[in-house]
Copies of this chain bind each other. A is one copy, B any other.
């Protein structure tokens, strides 16, 4: 990397988490490293700078820690997209498919005003189901999705296909 920081050395591989056979990318060493955390926030902020972002969406829960400093740096508001039952006011709900079964995400219906420009941030782009559902939620309440940003992209899971036609950026890609 141009500034000599090796982000991959700050990602911890956890075998069999959260279930057997799944390999988990633990970003807590990266978050806890002041230079690494600054690097991630700086690079993703740069991607959205000058693109008139009104709101930055963070997807619960790891997405919050990346989205919030980007929102702050862009001078934007921060919008949480959460798992069912966590948001206390009126919500828009989006169901999406998992490998087996479905899951749901929610956003407050007043989280974005009509026509506001929104960046969607999460820690990892995996199958793309969560990210696509988040983008659909924002559009359902009247926002315009400017783009999506991730720290890690697990390219072998094909998530980019679910975001076709959308701008997206990932800082680290595992092929």
Contact = CB atoms under 8 A, between A and B. Distances in A.
Interface string A67-106: 1110111011111101000111100000000000000000
Interface in A36-78: 36-38, 41, 54-55, 58, 60-62, 64-69, 71-73, 75-78
Interface string A10-34: 0010100110000010101101111
A117 interface: no
B12 A72 contact: no
Q: What class of interface size applies to chain A in its complex with B?
A: 35 or more
A151 interface: no
Contacts of A41: 72
Contact of A61 (B66, B86, B111): B86
Contact of A28 (B60, B67, B89): B89
Most buried by B among A36, A64, A71: A64
Contact of A14 (B60, B88, B110): B88
B64 A28 contact: no
Contacts of A18: 88
Interface of A: 12, 14, 17-18, 24, 26, 28-29, 31-34, 36-38, 41, 54-55, 58, 60-62, 64-69, 71-73, 75-80, 82, 86-89, 108, 110-112
